[in-house]
Amino acid sequence: MKKLFTFFVSMMLATTIFAGQAKYVFYFIGDGMGPSEVQGTEYYLSQIKGELGITPLCFTSFPYAGFVTTYSANSDVTDSSAAGTALACGVKINNGALGILPDSGDPVNSVAVWAKASGKSVGITTSVGVNHATPAAFYGHRPSRNDYYEIGVQLAQSGFDFFAGGDFINPTKEGEPSLYQLAEEAGYTILRGYDDYKAKKNTNKPMILLQKEGIGSDIPYAVDAREGDLTLDQIVTAAIEQLSKNKKGFFLMCEGGQIDHGGHANDAIACLGDVVSMDDAVKVAYEFYKKHPNETLIVVTADHETGGLALTGGGYSLNTGVLQYQKVSKHGFSQVLNKMRHDKKDKVEWADVKAALTENFGFWKEVQLTHDDEMKLYDEWYHSFAANEKVKMAESLYFKDEPLSHLAVTILNRIARLSWPVGSHSGSYVPVFAIGAGAEQFTGRIDNTDIPKKIAKVAGYKVKK
**Listed ranges 123-131, 154-162, 257-265, 401-409: which one lies at the site for Zn ion (CB under 5 A):** 257-265
CB of 297 to Zn ion, least distance (A): 27
CB of 366 to Zn ion, least distance (A): 31
Q: How many CB atoms lie within 10 A of CB 348?
A: 20
Under the criterion CB under 5 A, does residue 260 sit at the interface with Zn ion?
yes
CB of 219 to Zn ion, least distance (A): 16
**Listed ranges 194-202, 256-264, 274-282, 368-376: which one lies at the site for Zn ion (CB under 5 A):** 256-264
| Phi, psi angles (nearest 5°) of residue 224 | -100, 0
**Listed ranges 18-26, 259-267, 407-415, 457-465: which one lies at the site for Zn ion (CB under 5 A):** 259-267
Q: Which residue lies nearer to Zn ion by CB, 260 or 450?
A: 260
Number of residues that bind Zn ion (CB under 5 A): 1
CB of 303 to Zn ion, least distance (A): 8
**Listed ranges 96-104, 253-261, 270-278, 294-302: which one lies at the site for Zn ion (CB under 5 A):** 253-261
CB of 192 to Zn ion, least distance (A): 27
Q: Which residue lies nearer to Zn ion by CB, 37 or 260?
A: 260
Q: Which residue lies nearer to Zn ion by CB, 82 or 285?
A: 82
What span, in angstroms and rounded, lies between the C-alpha atoms of 220 and 371? 34
**Listed ranges 255-263, 308-316, 339-347, 407-415: which one lies at the site for Zn ion (CB under 5 A):** 255-263
**Listed ranges 185-193, 198-206, 224-232, 254-262: which one lies at the site for Zn ion (CB under 5 A):** 254-262
CB of 74 to Zn ion, least distance (A): 17
CB of 397 to Zn ion, least distance (A): 6
Q: Which residue lies nearer to Zn ion by CB, 150 or 260?
A: 260
Q: Which residue lies nearer to Zn ion by CB, 260 or 280?
A: 260
Which position's Cβ is nearest Zn ion?
260
Residues of this chain, 294-323, that bind Zn ion according to CB under 5 A: none
- Site mask, Zn ion, residues 210-249, x = CB under 5 A? ----------------------------------------
CB of 456 to Zn ion, least distance (A): 26
Q: What is the 3 state secondary structure string of the chain?
A: CHHHHHHHHHHHHHHHHHHHCCCEEEEEEECCCCHHHHHHHHHHHHHCCCCCCCCCCCHHHCCEEEEECCCCCCCCCCCHHHHHHHHHHCCCCCCCCECECCCCCCECCCHHHHHHHCCCEEEEEECCCCCCHHHHCCCCCECCCCCHHHHHHHHHHCCCCEEEECCCCCCCCCCCCCHHHHHHHCCCEEEEHHHHHHHHCCCCCCEEEECCCCCCCCCCCHHHCCCCCCCHHHHHHHHHHHHCCCCCCEEEEEEECHHHHHHHCCCHHHHHHHHHHHHHHHHHHHHHHHHCCCCEEEEEEECCEECCCECCCCCCCCCHHHHHHCCCCHHHHHHHHHHHHHHCCCCCCHHHHHHHHHHHHCECCCECCCHHHHHHHHHHHHHHHHCCCCCCCEECCCCEECHHHHHHHHHHHHHHCCECCCCCEECCCEEEEEEECCHHHCCEEECCCHHHHHHHHHHCCCCCC
Q: Which residue lies nearer to Zn ion by CB, 70 or 109?
A: 70
N residues, the chain? 465
Q: Which residue lies nearer to Zn ion by CB, 147 or 260?
A: 260
Q: Which residue lies nearer to Zn ion by CB, 260 or 373?
A: 260
CB of 264 to Zn ion, least distance (A): 6
336 touches 320 (CB < 8 A): no
What span, in angstroms and rounded, lies between the C-alpha atoms of 378 and 94? 45
Q: Which residue lies nearer to Zn ion by CB, 410 or 424?
A: 424
Q: Which residue lies nearer to Zn ion by CB, 306 or 320?
A: 306
**Listed ranges 16-24, 133-141, 173-181, 258-266: which one lies at the site for Zn ion (CB under 5 A):** 258-266
Binding site for Zn ion (CB under 5 A): 260
